[in-house]
Amino acid sequence: MPMAIADLITAARGQRPVDLLLTDARIVNVFNGSIDAGSVAVADGCVVGIGDYQAHHTVSLVGRFLAPGFIDSHVHIESAMTSVSEFVRAVLPLGTTTVVADPHEIANVLGLGGIEAMLAAAEQQPMNIYYGLPSCVPATAMETAGAVLDAATLAPLLANERILALGEMMNFPGLLACDPDVLAKIEATHERRKPVDGHCPGLAGKELAAYVAAGISSDHECISAAEAREKLAMGMHIMIREGTGAKNLADLLPIITPQTESFLMWCTDDRHPGDICREGHINYLVRRAVQGGIDPLTAIRMATIHPARRFGLTHLGAIAPGRRADLLVLPDLESFVPTAVYSGGRLVAQAGKMRPEIPSPPVMECPPTMRVRTDSLDLAIGATGTTGQVIELVPGQVVTGRRTVRLTCRDGLAVADPERDLLKLVVVERHRATGNVGKGFVSGFGLRTGALASSVAHDSHNIVAVGVSDRDLRQAIDAVIGLGGGQVVVAGGRLVASLALPLAGLMAVLPLDQVRQRIEELTAAARTIGAVPGDPFMALSFLALPVIPELKLTDQGLFDVTRFCHVPLFTD
């Protein structure tokens, strides 16, 4: 419960002892850019004053820095591949005390039920979890998702206090074409006086002007300083992203100036378990920025007061009277590794670990999502021609190329040919038991034997598998289904590595460090059978995403993103 105003006043005036007094601190003031020696008084979870107070409990920080808790302005919790509770226990000790998450991934699997599950999972957590309302479910009509969320379905959720905004509007072609449902979602959000987050990579000129004119006021997809400057000039907030697949921080550091700073903030978007465990979360972005020459106070403001203002979180983002006491004790302003984290005035983490007495809410529950009729799956590709379009991996990128090659045919079927680096790729619909199987070929993956399969396949998250034979592919697909969702490597007729993802086929029920370990085992197993990509399962997941150029595969077939239509595999 928020502190009563009368109680806040009496505590701030020193008329009753405060709960906690943090003394001998070097206090980071995000309003005036100063670092002030002094003490911070906390009562009922709020900062009530700066200075000397009588307190029930006093802690000396012996000259360490005290900064506001960090805020991630745009994140998909599902990308950490673990439950909300385990995500919290992983990132809170790193200094992230608030996230604005977009449950877009789980919504594409479970629809409204997925959003409601994420909202329920946010309750009773030892950190602040807010959400953007997924605006694009499904992302396109060119694949089969688990749900369709139209404006009428979403509108009631906008009244929820945890819903801060309409989530990233990826469907900018629909917006520019004045699609009625897209416009209705935006209008309903504006009626609630909540912002709309954007997603418009490469949009410029009059099309960008139209996008902004519709009331979309942020973007996290900028990959160059020039792109970001054009969007800033039109009044957009820029969320500088440093995730696992998309790393834009270094290229965007030049846009951080005294004139632009208040419109800038940090986000992780999609950050996978290995990177969180090895490098950190928002604290990693702040550290990288300072290493790149950004003033530490500026980097901290971009992690605190700027996202708080963007989303109307007037009780967060600063160390000041009336603000929630989300506080980081930092030994320096270089590493940004907290020695202690306070959330709502409660000590929740020390030395990189959650305090053992901090309870963790139960893991969220999700219904089964593997609705596949395995007995009727047809993975064979009849050879109706001799040459075909092949998806070509681009190292280190989620974009793909294409090439036309003479396919290997045997007994009337087009088959994989690992000697020529031509592997079979299939996407199996898993939400509605339609029996849809998209079939094609990919080069650049490198497998010599076996197969990989995953139920994480952006954005509709059907089962995607790559392999050297139909037998291997079927075994991998069956293994994913048997796990209730997950990622697997099969070789030599056996399952050699796996990670179960029973929560919507996207998230495990394990702690993040155990998920990281399983992913490393999967990657190592994939390497032994020849996998070339640095992150084989990430590369696999994006081969099914029909909004990133150039050639992709959905459960409905081969898809030309440039022409935005399905195309035949064979070209002759």
How far apart are the C-alpha atoms of 19 and 4, rounded to whole Å? 15
Question: What does the pLDDT read at residue 324?
Answer: 98
Q: Is 86 in the same domain as 196?
A: yes
Q: Which of 289, 314, 339 is the last residue of a domain?
A: 314
Question: What does the pLDDT read at residue 38?
Answer: 98
How far apart are the C-alpha atoms of 444 and 408, rounded to whole Å? 16
Is the model's pLDDT at 3 over the cut of 80? no
Q: Which of 314, 346, 364 is the last residue of a domain?
A: 314
Q: Is 173 in the same domain as 272?
A: yes
Q: Is 308 in the same domain as 391?
A: no
Q: Which of 269, 290, 314 is the last residue of a domain?
A: 314
Q: Is residue 438 part of a domain?
A: yes
pLDDT grade for 2, boundaries at 50, 70 and 90: low
Q: Is residue 219 part of a domain?
A: yes
User: What digits encode the pLDDT tens for the residues 258-317?
Assistant: 999 999 999 999 999 999 999 999 999 999 999 999 999 999 999 999 999 999 999 999
Q: Is residue 77 part of a domain?
A: yes
Number of domains comprising the chain: 2
**Contact (Cβ atoms closer than 8 angstroms) between residue 98 and residue 72:** yes
User: What digits encode the pLDDT tens for the residues 493-524?
Assistant: 999 999 999 999 999 999 999 999 999 999 99
Q: Is residue 20 part of a domain?
A: no
Question: Of the candidates 96, 103, 106, 101, which has an alpha carbon nearest to the alpha carbon of residue 126?
Answer: 96
Q: Is 398 in the same domain as 297?
A: no
Interval 199-219 mean pLDDT: 96
Q: Is residue 336 part of a domain?
A: no
Interval 19-48 mean pLDDT: 98
Q: Is 557 in the same domain as 409?
A: yes
DSSP character string of 341-403: EEETTEEEEETTEE-TTS--PPPP---------GGG-----B-S-SEEEEEEE-TT-S-EEEE
Provide the edge-to-edge strand list for the sheet that holds 387-393. 400-406, 387-393, 437-443, 423-428, 463-467, 451-454, 486-491, 494-500
Question: What does the pLDDT read at residue 395?
Answer: 85
Radius of gyration of the chain (CA): 25
Question: What does the pLDDT read at residue 428?
Answer: 98
Q: Is residue 553 part of a domain?
A: yes
User: What digits encode the pLDDT tens for the residues 116-159?
Assistant: 999 999 999 999 999 999 999 998 889 999 999 999 999 999 99
Mean pLDDT of the chain: 96
pLDDT grade for 375, boundaries at 50, 70 and 90: confident
Is the model's pLDDT at 1 over the cut of 70? no
How far apart are the C-alpha atoms of 233 and 125, rounded to whole Å? 38
Q: Is residue 235 part of a domain?
A: yes
Question: What does the pLDDT read at residue 550?
Answer: 92
pTM score: 0.95
Q: Is 450 in the same domain as 543?
A: yes
Element (H, E) at 84: helix 84-91
Question: What does the pLDDT read at residue 266?
Answer: 98
Look up residue 209 and give its amino acid: A
Interval 197-224 mean pLDDT: 96
Interval 173-186 mean pLDDT: 96
Q: Is 310 in the same domain as 406?
A: no
Q: Is 80 in the same domain as 228?
A: yes
Q: Is 303 in the same domain as 157?
A: yes
Q: Is 88 in the same domain as 214?
A: yes
What CATH code is carried by the domain that includes residue 136? 3.20.20.140
Q: Is residue 213 part of a domain?
A: yes
Q: Is 151 in the same domain as 226?
A: yes
Q: Is 278 in the same domain as 390?
A: no
Residue 463's domain spans which residues? 381-566
User: What digits encode the pLDDT tens for the residues 244-259?
Assistant: 888 999 999 999 999 9
Half-sphere exposure of 494 (CA within 13 A, CB side): 3
